[in-house]
Amino acid sequence: MILPSMYRGGATQTVPSPRFRPGQLVRHKRYNYRGVVADHDPSCQADDAWYFKNQTQPDRGQPWYHVLVDGTSSATYAAEENLIADESIEPVQHPMLAMFFEGYCEGRYVRNSTPWMGW
């Protein structure tokens, strides 16, 4: 997708399409947790304090994902480069599943219309 860049003299900026969709099962490459994508942002929307507090600082210009972590009550915010598709069809266990999903079918959750809480 190409979006016009505001305040840059009409220049355009390429925004990568997200590789993962809400409801898709993913696994974190570094930390090996698995979870389900609840939502995504076209780029990192976290503030500088949050971003620089992390051990690594993946490129902010790539898609970032809100992931409900399996077997916990945690949600993470992960850069696309740190995620891979989880080939397992096992459902995840998370207390917020019913808030964002209306069902589970063939290894994928069905997203409802409840918006992610945002930053």
Q: Per-residue pLDDT tens, the chain, 119 aa: give them.
A: 343 333 334 455 666 799 999 999 999 999 999 999 999 999 999 999 999 998 889 999 999 999 999 999 999 999 999 999 999 989 999 999 999 999 999 899 999 999 998 65
Say yes or no: domain 18-111 is CATH 2.30.30.390: yes
pTM: 0.85
| CA distances from residue 87 to 27, 59, 81, 90, 113 in whole angstroms, order as listed | 9, 26, 17, 9, 26
Please report the pLDDT score of residue 13 as a whole number. Answer: 60
Strand, helix or coil at 98? helix
DSSP 60: T
Residues recorded for the chain: 119
Tokens matching residue 119: 């930053």
Tokens matching residue 62: 């790539």
Question: Would you say 100 and 38 are in contact if contact means Cβ atoms under 8 Å apart?
Answer: yes
